[in-house]
Amino acid sequence: MRRFLRLLVVAAIVTIAPYAQATTTKPVSKQEVIAPVAQWKPRPPATPAANDELEGILKQAREQADAKNYAAALSLYQRAAGLDGKNARIFSAIGFLQSAQGNFQAALGSYQQAIDLSPKEADFHYGLGFNYIRLGQTSAALGAYRNAILHNPRHTNAQLGLAILLSQQQQFDAALQTYQQVLRSDPKNTAAREGIGFILLEQNKPDDAINVLKRAIGIDSRSARANLGLGLAYLTKGDPNTALQHLNQAAQIDARNPSIQVQLGKVYESLGERDRALSSYQRAIALNGQFVEAHRAIADFYYTQSDYGNAVRAYREVTRLEPDNGDGFYWLGKSYQSQNQKGEAEQALQQAKRQYEAQNRADGVQKVIGTLEQLK
């Protein structure tokens, strides 16, 4: 049970984190950093009064951006860049709009142009870091966030982004220090308190986590993440009824968050409430059919219920979404094995073995070898 709870906490740290720069259509993956803080937006470019044409274009661009007509705004800002190639904030705005449309690679180039023109502007480094995250380049994102903080030690969003990435990498002491820096300048920052609460849970300090998370809810009673953390904390303490109250509250506040539904399903499953667990997993998939954690959770559920046909279908979806996931192929092979489909089982297990070898996971390789022996 304790290992199960730790997996829930780790999953929450990885899949629920602070803030999106802008709305995009790209599905959220476990490598991305997203969650509930105020959206960051670049300051508008300065307009030289003498250049009436440029001023008019920038005015139209800002109006289109405010109306979320991002494609039109982007075209206008690109015209503006042709008239004033030395205005760093124009390139920053271009990067923001490219990111808003899911074109993260192009956004990196635009933010780098802005940095080349104005290297000490913290917002540009922050924008660069955000797009590195969206591309799964964690090390580069860490460097960009640190540069943002170097140029503006009170850049709250960069501090939060840095703390979340450090938590993902299980550098909890460094993450705690960063969250505490946020609270020194902004004592009412709920995202920082939530982050600290989840780290305390990871360190098996549920009472301390409850104190911190309750203070977060005292500041923002509509915090889904704080309620999620309280649910996990009370579950750790052996109080499932209070845990479910907070988890259901989290689901009501953020009804379209598939990650919360997955956590809720796992708690129901641990309490033996299988129908509710299955409903939660299905709801998570309905909210985001590309959310691999939901498919993995429902696949594991079917497997433990000996429903191997549905487990095969669910694990195949896991491997489609994460083709480099050795565990997905391993459990797909086990599901085939349980249905006495030896050929399909061997094919999936061999693929799992290749992925484990590529990731230098000796334990996984040995696990596959043992299972392949059983097929003979």
Q: For residue 335, what is the domain's CATH number?
A: 1.25.40.10
Q: How confident is the model at residue 36 (pLDDT cuts 50, 70, 90)?
A: very low
Quick check: 359 pLDDT over 70? yes
| Final residue belonging to a domain, choices 169, 190, 208 | 169
- Range 64-90 average pLDDT: 93
Domain that holds residue 323: 306-376
Report residue 22's pLDDT band, with 50, 70 and 90 as the boundaries: very low
User: Per-residue confidence at 50, pLDDT binned at 50, 70, 90?
Assistant: very low
Residue 290, domain member (yes or no): no
**273 pLDDT higher than 70:** yes
Checking 37-40 for CB contacts under 8 A at 24+ apart, the result is 37/157, 37/160, 37/191, 40/123, 40/126, 40/127, 40/130, 40/157
Best CA proximity match to 87, nearest among 75, 77, 96, 97 = 77
Q: What is the dihedral of CA 165, 167, 171, 174, to 10 degrees?
A: 80
Q: Is the pLDDT of residue 98 over 90?
A: yes
User: In the predicted model, is pLDDT for residue 11 greater than 70?
Assistant: no
Tens digits of residue pLDDT in 206-235:
999 999 999 999 999 999 999 999 998 998
Does the residue 366 lie in any domain?
yes
Residue 261 forms part of a structural domain: no
- Among the ranges given (43-52, 60-69, 173-182, 188-197), the one the predictor scored with the smallest mean pLDDT: 43-52
pLDDT tens column, 126-149:
999 999 988 888 899 999 999 999
Flag whether 77 is in a domain. yes
Of 26-40, 251-265, 275-289, the range with the lowest mean pLDDT is 26-40
**Is residue 259 in some structural domain?**
no
Mean of the per-residue pLDDT values of the chain: 87
pLDDT value of residue 28? 26
> What predicted TM-score, i.e. pTM, was given to this entire model?
0.74
Last residue of a domain, one of 121, 152, 169: 169
Residue 152 above 70 pLDDT?
A: yes
Within a domain: 104: yes
Q: Given this model, what pLDDT does residue 30 score?
A: 30
Q: With bands split at pLDDT 50, 70 and 90, how would you rate the model's confidence at 35?
A: very low
Residue 226 lies in a domain: no
Which tokens is 16 given?
Answer: 């629920």
How many structural domains are present in the chain? 2
**CB count in 10 Å sphere of residue 58:** 26
Instruction: Return the higher-pLDDT residue of 104 and 9.
Output: 104
Q: 365 pLDDT exceeds 90?
A: yes
Q: Which residue do the tokens 């689901």 mark?
A: 251
Per-residue confidence (pLDDT) for residue 263, from 0 to 100: 84
Residue 10 is predicted with a pLDDT of 58
Tell me: the pLDDT tens digits for 325-352? Answer: 899 999 999 999 999 999 999 999 999 9
* Burial degree of 16 (CB within 10 A; 0-12, 13-18, 19+): buried
Confidence label for 376 from pLDDT (cuts 50, 70 and 90): confident
Distance CA 122, CA 61 (A): 23
pLDDT above 70: percentage of residues in the chain: 87
- Write out pLDDT tens, residues 287-334: 999 999 999 999 999 999 999 999 999 999 999 998 988 999 999 999
Domain boundary among 132, 149, 169: 169
In 3D space, the residue among 99, 61, 115 whose CA is nearest the CA of residue 83 turns out to be: 61
230 found inside a domain: no
